[in-house]
Amino acid sequence: EPEVTQTPSHQVTQMGQEVILRCVPISNHLYFYWYRQILGQKVEFLVSFYNNEISEKSEIFDDQFSVERPDGSNFTLKIRSTKLEDSAMYFCASSRDRGAYNEQFFGPGTRLTVL
């Protein structure tokens, strides 16, 4: 069964550094998402992406964040200058079709630790 994959599984960085989290969505999916989960808190939506454009973003997704689909298979989340409060588990997801009734398929997550 095809799966969403994410690398690395764990990233440790110093405050102020840039990080790039990588995701490979399911191959025939066209809609991509990032979520995050701060330890002990809810899974929170960050951004959705389709046709090389952001289609929706949350208030968390400020100018420090950016997303890109640099090639036909990868989907990345960049945090320009990390803060302590960016420490969280980051989940990538994809879906084949658009529409609120479609389920999203999630990757295993990248645990980001900002020191």
Partner 1 sequence: AQSVAQPEDQVNVAEGNPLTVKCTYSVSGNPYLFWYVQYPNRGLQFLLKYITGDNLVKGSYGFEAEFNKSQTSFHLKKPSALVSDSALYFCAVRDINLGTNFGNEKLTFGTGTRLTIIP
Q: Which of 2, 18, 56, 81 binds partner 1 (CB under 8 A)?
A: 56
Name the segment binding partner 1 (CB under 8 A); options: 11-19, 54-62, 63-71, 80-88: 54-62
| Residue 33: closest CA among 85, 87, 81, 104 | 104
> Considering the rule CB under 8 A, would residue 8 count as an interface residue with partner 1?
no
Cβ atoms within 10 Å, residue 69: 17
Q: Which of 3, 18, 73, 81 binds partner 1 (CB under 8 A)?
A: 3
- Please tell me the distance from the alpha carbon of residue 83 to that of residue 104, in angstroms, as a whole number: 28
Which residues, 6 or more positions from 65, have their beta carbon under 8 angstroms from its beta carbon? 46, 47, 77, 78, 79, 80
- Please tell me the distance from the alpha carbon of residue 109 to that of residue 88, in angstroms, as a whole number: 10
Q: 85-114: which residues touch partner 1 (CB under 8 A)? A: 91, 93, 98-101, 103-109
> Considering the rule CB under 8 A, would residue 39 count as an interface residue with partner 1?
no
Residues that bind partner 1 (CB under 8 A): 3-4, 6, 9, 31, 33, 35, 41-45, 48, 55-56, 58, 91, 93, 98-101, 103-109
